[in-house]
Structure 1
């Protein structure tokens, strides 16, 4: 694939590129590299997202691969079309090119539902009547195992009937969930029978009122990656202990499946590789979508493009250039451990870029 104008060259080799390079040489995934940037459309992007964009897009370019922009729109209560439009503008402004690969997770709701029914049929998922408060109480702690739900051993037929009635809208919000049947004593809390679907009677910004059950992030995003053929699912470090669940869901679907489709459940689905990296932390800088929303709704700032914010819209309005932000992303690199970057590094990148392009004008205000 030809590298488009403005794409940053690789400076050195980070651990992700080394990992992918080894997999490509070994012929894994047929030697293909396919990445994605999957924001949730519930706020504007900030400088931390720029790092994620350029890790994913930069790696796809370095290896001659593909890059998707995918909206993880599985929570209709928090998502709006305004955020979708703003994110598209910001990612394009940064210089990333997804071609015709603009995707929405909600487009896969039907396929994900069918896979969920499959896990119910396999005895790997069940409908639970515990309230959110009871679920939290039964989950246990890091030092105390969880307690099994009294609904864990429902018959497959009953689970299937209840799950279909959940989809049909027969039950109120929060009354039932679909949970994976894994291990309530696992030291990894994410594997303690996590919720796969919850009931939420809220219109979706793309699907309208078609759905009243919505997939949870851990169930949805690995399957979205699989459907799109993503090979390397690159995400921030807080999802490292979610990786076993990412793998478990795909392995559970593939149980009873074969490469040639001759198995009782058909052909195996694609299994991407999740890799985690440290997120961006900067001195003297707030990078929280929740706080940005509070500031805007409270009238403390004049919109998400207020120059006092480090949203990409705010930085753009402040006069920052995409070239400066790309250079910043190159300088800070990719690491496996968390660290804090001095905001002066970003300011230096902006200063250097503007020094190259800002016009110089001289004027005599009071000529003789």
Structure 2
């Protein structure tokens, strides 16, 4: 990694040479005056000052002898051009602020329009890649290199990557972070590399996504977020071992199973795992107290409902069929707090519904508690950038849900930061850096369902 500040001395020396060649001058116009003269295509009154005078004044700027805002170094380009980016752009400004890398050595700093092309040339860059909004700056890029007789990299512009339901503008991203609308640059809801990494998105998935969409000069393309998620899902389906986690636990007491009996059952890490391959299996306890998702129980059954209901049977994944015999209500007489059920040890019952579950590891002991964070689209509309000043009003208030005490199978207790899993029926998850020895934290990367379609404009 290199920085423009690595070349501050080279840039200064080349600015002196530019003045000596008659292609730059020290100007004293205010920003307002510069703007007005550019709009009228009028030269600065100091444009034709003697070279020696500009050299002395530029040296005074460097030595800190001129106040901030009282002078700039401008390139002597073409004030009559049809391209406004040739209207004598500023090369140097005075700023009495220490630099993050150079410290307080300098009080004049080069502009992007001056430094960009020169540093590319000094570093022998073969191709300088920019997004389309910089296309009109290509004339200034080559003008300066020609004026100094420097090597020309090839400049090539392409359209920005625009993804639905988010913002990619650095200015907008910075505002979201600094104003605390999100939890930092690595917030998993952001499309920053740090955010994608924390969400569990792999570099190979990003590369596959980029290869899939290709490069275009069309500036109106909007890529569906679901397209990236599809690549992520495709990879994690092959690489993330399975586990069972219950987000909103509902207690189920199996009345025809002995209180102190604990069975050790085999669960599959992979869909095609063979029963004789112990490396592809993990152990789960099964006892008379298990927990299912609260959303997997209803008091009223329906034809298209495959969850548990009074008098109805479901299959507990890797275990046995159970049949609901009673629902216990809480003090409010409305909320079901416990289900009584019977299990079928012979497995003669063949219910259609299959539920994930977590059991007590031993009588009276709760399963492993973990924190689960569910992330959704950061913005409600596909293109929040179109909303101008109202873009913040489009933030999705439900883009982050924290479940502080989900129940997980014990095999997850040794998971490390960055480990990825498929939580059966729930989606793909990754261990977050906020995890501690006392509690694991999981971020949902993507859901299981793939809503992306290859047709249309997505």
Matched residue SS, 2:2: strand
CA displacement at 1:300 relative to structure 2: 2.2
Which residue in 2 is equivalent to 1:135? Answer: 34
Aligned partner of 1:304 among 185, 196, 204: 185
Which residue in 2 is equivalent to 1:347? Answer: 229
CA displacement at 1:121 relative to structure 2: 1.0
Which residue in 2 is equivalent to 1:262? Answer: none
Matched residue SS, 2:93: strand
CA displacement at 1:313 relative to structure 2: 1.1
Matched residue SS, 1:149: coil
Structure 1, 242-251 or 231-240: larger mean CA deviation: 231-240
CA displacement at 1:365 relative to structure 2: 4.5
CA-atom RMSD in angstroms: 1.4
Matched residue SS, 1:139: helix
- Asked if 1:270 corresponds to 2:128, the answer is no
Distance 2:176 2:216 in 1: 31
Distance 1:314 1:162, change over 3 A: same
Distance 1:147 1:248 in 2: 20
Distance 2:181 2:218 in 1: 34
- Asked if 1:253 corresponds to 2:148, the answer is yes
Structure 2 residues without counterparts, runs of 5 or longer: 244-266, 268-283, 288-318, 320-344, 346-458
Aligned partner of 2:9 among 103, 106, 110: 110
Which residue in 2 is equivalent to 1:146? Answer: 41
CA displacement at 1:295 relative to structure 2: 2.2
Which residue in 2 is equivalent to 1:12? Answer: none
Distance 1:365 1:278 in 2: 56
CA displacement at 1:335 relative to structure 2: 1.1
Count of aligned positions: 249
- Asked if 1:325 corresponds to 2:206, the answer is yes
CA displacement at 1:342 relative to structure 2: 1.3
Structural mapping, 1:1-368, within 5 Å? 102-140=1-39, 145-254=40-149, 269-338=150-219, 339-361=221-243, 362=267, 363=284, 365-366=286-287, 368=345
Please state which structure has a larger fraction of its residues in strand.
Answer: 2
CA displacement at 1:291 relative to structure 2: 2.2
Which residue in 2 is equivalent to 1:37? Answer: none
**TM-score normalised by structure 2 residue count:** 0.53
Distance 1:320 1:352 in 2: 11
Which residue in 1 is equivalent to 2:304? Answer: none
Matched residue SS, 1:103: coil
Please state which structure has a larger fraction of its residues in helix.
Answer: 1
Matched residue SS, 1:118: helix
Distance 1:364 1:207 in 2: 61
Structure 1 residues without counterparts, runs of 5 or longer: 1-101, 255-268
CA displacement at 1:276 relative to structure 2: 0.9
